[in-house]
Structures are given as C-alpha cells and as structure tokens.
Structure 1
Amino acid sequence: MSEADWPASLADNELEELDQYLRAHPGEDHLLLDGVHGLLTSLAIGPSPATPDEWLPEVLHEPFADAEEGERILTLLARLNDSVLLEIETGSYEPILGEVDTDDGRTAFTSRGWCEGFSRGIDLRAAAWEARLGQDSDLMQHLGPIIALSIEDEVFDSDAEFAALTDDEYDECLARIPESVDAVATYWREHPASDEEHALHNEGDPPRPPRRRGGRWVH
C-alpha cells in the first residue's frame, strides 16, 4: 500500500465528536472511546479478523437519530478501525487512554476502559485465544503488561494473588502497551491460527465477567 493510499487518522476534533456521541448514549457496560480503541486493537492483532457486523454490536446499542447521524458515526468508526490497522502495520501504535482524578487532585492516565475493550475483542475469539494461551507461554508473556493492567484496574479477576502495582509500575505497563501490541500482532502473524482454531469461535458466545470502567479519552 502506497503512502497516498493510507487512511488518514482521525483528527482530535473527530475523536472528540465520536467520544461525545458515545457519552451521549451511556449504559452500564457500554464502551467509551478508549474502550472502542482497545476492542479494535485486540481484533486487529488477534487470531482472525472480525467483520463490522461482529464488533459494532459491542459499540452501538441504540438506533441513530437519523440517517445523517448514522452515516457520520459509522464513517468515524470505520476510519478509527483503519487507523488502528495502519498504526500497527507501521509500528506507530499508541493506545487511546482515559484520565481519572487522583486523591491528591491530579489527573492520571488509566487503562481501564482500553483494557475492557481489549478483553471484549478477545471474547469474540475466546476459544482460539484460550486454546493457544493454554499451549504457548510466549503468547501469555507478550500479553504481560496488558494482563497486569487489566488485573490492577479490576477489568477481570484472577484466581492468583497479585501485589498491587506501584504508580511507577503502572506507568511502566502503560508505556509498554505498544510493545505488547506489536509482539502479539507478530506472534499471530508468525504462528497463525489453524483451521480448527478459526472455527472454534462459531461454537457459541462465552460468558463475560462483569467489568468496570471510567475516565475520558486521551490520545
């Protein structure tokens, strides 16, 4: 693909527009912009691609106000998906993270929303992910920073006991998300899923644990 053919990333005002739309249609388990970015990321680097018909129900939960709004939001989501694919392809990936207020009055980055979306992308291909994770410790190692953040941010529970991350350790894991994303993408590219693994996701939707999220988008 030539540089002229590359899709343009969303401008800040377009990200803001998409963020505001998602915030205007809240729900207990609805993703915001950081979560949508995590969802699209995990699908982009996972064992097999997903069609919009598969991932849009994770993002959109209400009818559009009119055809114009629908066309606009769907276009922004498609371009966001294209930009994720491009950033991964060119080694320039950066997660969209949220911000939260700290007890001392500061703001800090949080991966909670992004990790929630990432885990939902894994849910869409759960059987293939679980089969491979059960066989190959390298994949688990590549996911290490994302797993650590997901446990710390209570996106999912773990049977094992883990010490809470310090602020420095949390920030280090955040900084390693692009490295982890690149490693997982390379892993599945070099060790593609078998036909059997590709077929496993059709056997039924796995149960999803309850998740918590918060924050606002920051790129």
Structure 2
Amino acid sequence: MSDTNTDWPSSLDDSELDELDTYLRAHAQDGHLLLDGVHGLLSALTVGPVQVLPDEWLPEVLHDPFVDEEEGNRVLALLAKLNDSISAELDVDAYEPILGEVDTEAGPALSAAGWCEGFSRGIDLRASLWEKRLADDASLMETLGPVMALAVDEGILSAEAEFEKLTDEEYDDCLAQLPAVLAAVSQYWAEHPATEAELDALHRATETRDEPQQPPRQRSGHWVH
C-alpha cells in the first residue's frame, strides 16, 4: 500500500485483521465464514445491485451472542471498518482480496475457496436480482468469469458442463483479475441499475425467503492479506 493511502480512516492494519481473524476462528463452527469468506461476502455486497444493511449481513458472519459487551463493540467496529475499506480500496484501485492459505505437497499456497464461498453468499442475499441479470445479460456473466472459474475449481459452484481443473497459472491469473472484476461489476450495476419490476420481485422474494442452508464444506486455511 502506498504512503498516499495510509491515512484511510476505513483501512484495517495487520493487527486489526489478526484480531478479527482470531475472533472469527474462535467462534467458527462447520460452515461458518472465516475472515477470507467475510471479505468475499462484503465484497459482493459492495459491488452489488442494491444496498444490504448490516442487520441483514451480520447474521451471516456472527452466530453467537457476545458474552462481553466491550468485545462485541470491538468486533462490530472492525467488521464495519472492513466493510468500508472495500469501497475505499476499489475507488483508488488498491483492492486486494483476503485469501486463505492451504498446505500442498509443494508447500503453502493461496486459496480462493473461502473468498468465493463468501462472495457466493453475498450474491444469495440478493439472488433474484443477480440470477435474472445473469440469465438475461451475457456480459455480466462474462465479467464474472474469473470469479466463476475459481468458484467452480474450488467446488463452491457446480459446472453445467465438464470442467477441467485450472492450472496453477490459470488459477493465479484469475486471482490477479479479481480487483478488476469487482470494479467492472460495480460499474455494471451503476450503469444498469435494478428496474422497478426487479425491485418488486426482490421485495417479494425477501419476504418469503427461507433460512439459508449451511454450505456443505468448511473454510480452511489462514487469512493472507
């Protein structure tokens, strides 16, 4: 990060990321998002079609009541700061996804599994809008291509056709494209906002939405910023 951006009030430093990561790990159960997943979730909401308030996304992140009020206020402040940092970083072309780290035969490697899981859940919170546009507008699907490729590769999404695993080079290339993808998706929704009919359908879907199902796999690895 350059010196010109170190005074961002919304940026989390490494110690704050560590603090939030530690809290989430200490309270994580099977299927809960860790820090990389939370970052993916908030990234999807930031660039999505309509605003999603904390009252709606916090239950995707926090699952137990706070035992200590001071700790609770601290965690909420860190989550708010993380959320704010995404749009700030996108505005100055400095966004970096928080990724997981997994052990491989060749040593530690970055993994987008948790980030993609969170991004998928962010889309799910406004599923009716996303699904209609993805079905009707091929350009949005094409823009999301690198995210989709990573998500399929990690087993977060299932592919309709047979899908070959990404090579290491292809995987790294998709990771490198994530900042540009998010910027393009944000621009897409700014230029093609949800229509009144789509918003009406969203309102009806939100009113009747069932409780979200737990995902089939747990996030793993450490956050890497």
CA distance in 2 between partners of 1:180 and 1:71 (Å): 33
Paired residue secondary structure (1:107): strand
* In 1: Cα distance, 2:172 partner to 2:222 partner: 17
Q: Distance in 1 between matches of 2:7 and 2:104?
A: 42
CA RMSD of aligned residues (A): 1.8
CA distance in 1, matches of 2:215, 2:35: 19
Q: Is the 8 A contact 2:31 2:214 kept in 1?
A: no
The equivalent residue for 1:66 is 68
Report deviation, 1:41.
0.3
Using the size of structure 1 for normalisation, the TM-score is: 0.93
Question: Does structure 2 retain, via aligned residues, the 8 Å contact 1:99–1:217?
Answer: yes
Hey, what does 2:165 align to over in structure 1? 164
Partner of 1:210: 215
**In 2: Cα distance, 1:200 partner to 1:6 partner:** 38
**Is the Cα–Cα contact under 8 Å of residues 155 and 211 in structure 1 kept in the other structure?**
no
Equivalent pair of 1:156/1:211 in contact (CA under 8 Å): no
Q: 2-side partners of 1:214 and 1:200: how far apart?
A: 36
Counterparts of 1:22-171 in structure 2, within 5 Å, are 22-104=24-106, 106-171=107-172
Deviation at 1:208, TM superposition (A): 4.8
CA distance in 2, matches of 1:148, 1:66: 41
Aligned residue pairs total: 216
Contact kept, 8 Å, 2:45 with 2:123, in 1: the verdict is yes
Structure-1 separation of matches of 2:193 and 2:98: 27
Stretches of 4+ aligned residues off by more than 2 angstroms: 3-8, 198-202, 204-213
SS at match of 1:134: helix
SS in 2 for 1:159: coil
Equivalent pairs: percent with the same residue? 57
Counterpart code for 1:122: I
- Displacement, 1:142? 0.6
Q: 1:175 to 1:5 in 2, by over 3 A?
A: closer
- The amino acid of 1:71's aligned partner reads N
Using the size of structure 2 for normalisation, the TM-score is 0.91
Distance between the aligned counterparts of 1:37 and 1:49, measured in 2?
Answer: 16
